[in-house]
């Protein structure tokens, strides 16, 4: 989580670039806590040692009455837990069975925390498919000249359809039909001009991750009279694609607010 928070607060982290970071974080969390093989491996070496009371190097032990204790420098410290019943509470020593229950409870709580984190990360911003599609407005992360032209065209068409459906669909509000943010018919008419402009601009970005590069590029493109006449709808789309830079949790909350 520290990694994703640090990356999200970068001055150059656009919302379209967030999807890969989110995917990796959720995948890591799922593998660590929500898979059959969870709670094992190098990450959990200390945890495995801690709960294996039989290991000699473990400082946790059971005494002769099978009570959990910790032996340090000749001193023995007994563990206890507090059971609450209504307004009263009572203290008990931790037995072998109760220790096993505690281990199960800790695992259960960690799984619930991991599930909550994954759920929040997935719900805070749009779904992965839309975020990946938004990337078409950022040449440095999508219009890579190393990609094969045919596969790029197929991939663009797939992303294009997602964007048209999301930003171009009409909705009804209190019985009144409201048009989409973008005109889907114009997007279809202008797609050739847009793809041509994008593939030609990739090599211009010598330092694509430098702060302000993308904004400067689209400011220049937006001043072109020819492009304003031939792909105006895509200029609007690009504004939607890159007006949001994460930078802070406050920006994140504003973007995900209803």
Q: Give the lowest-confidence range in 110-114, 204-208, 213-217, 223-227.
A: 204-208
Average pLDDT over residues 221-241: 82
* Residue 69 covered by a domain: no
State the Cα–Cα distance between residues 150 and 212, nearest whole angstrom.
31
Average pLDDT over residues 192-212: 64
- Return the pLDDT at 177: 82
Residue 40 Cα distances to 48, 59, 114, angstroms: 7, 20, 16
> What are the strands of the beta sheet with 75-78, ordered from one edge?
60-62, 68-72, 75-78
Range of the domain at 142: 129-243
* Residue 91 covered by a domain: no
* Residue 32 covered by a domain: no
What's the number of domains the chain is made of? Answer: 1
Does position 28 have pLDDT exceeding 60, yes or no? Answer: yes
Does position 183 have pLDDT exceeding 60, yes or no? Answer: yes
Give the confidence band of 206 by pLDDT, cuts at 50, 70, 90. Answer: very low
* Residue 37 covered by a domain: no
How many other C-beta atoms lie within 10 A of the C-beta of residue 67? Answer: 19
Element (H, E) at 110: helix 96-124
* Residue 81 covered by a domain: no
* pLDDT tens digits, one per residue of 100-119: 888 888 889 989 998 888 88
- Return the pLDDT at 179: 80
pTM of the model: 0.61
């Amino acid at each position: 989580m520290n990694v994703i928070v640090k990356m999200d607060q970068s001055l150059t982290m656009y919302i379209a670039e967030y999807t890969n970071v989110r995917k990796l974080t959720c995948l890591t969390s799922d593998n660590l806590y929500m898979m059959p093989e969870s709670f094992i491996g190098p990450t959990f070496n200390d945890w495995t040692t801690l709960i294996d009371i039989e290991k000699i190097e473990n400082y946790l032990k059971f005494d002769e009455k099978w009570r959990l204790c910790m032996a340090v420098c000749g001193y023995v410290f007994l563990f206890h837990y507090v059971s609450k019943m209504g307004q009263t509470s009572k203290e008990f020593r931790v037995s072998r069975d109760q220790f096993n229950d505690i281990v199960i409870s800790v695992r259960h709580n960690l799984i619930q925390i991991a599930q909550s984190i994954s759920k929040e990360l997935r719900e805070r911003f749009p779904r992965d498919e839309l975020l990946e599609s938004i990337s078409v407005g950022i040449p440095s992360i999508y219009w890579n000249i190393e990609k094969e032209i045919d596969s790029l065209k197929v991939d663009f068409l797939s992303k294009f359809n997602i964007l048209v459906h999301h930003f171009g669909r009409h909705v009804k509000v209190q019985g009144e039909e409201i048009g989409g943010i973008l005109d889907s018919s114009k997007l279809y008419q202008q797609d050739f001009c847009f793809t041509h402009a994008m593939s030609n601009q990739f090599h211009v970005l010598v330092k694509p991750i430098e702060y302000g590069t993308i904004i400067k590029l689209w400011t220049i493109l937006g001043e072109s009279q020819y492009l304003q006449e031939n792909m105006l709808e895509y200029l609007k789309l690009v504004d939607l694609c890159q007006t949001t830079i994460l930078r802070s949790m406050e920006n994140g909350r504003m973007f995900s607010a209803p």
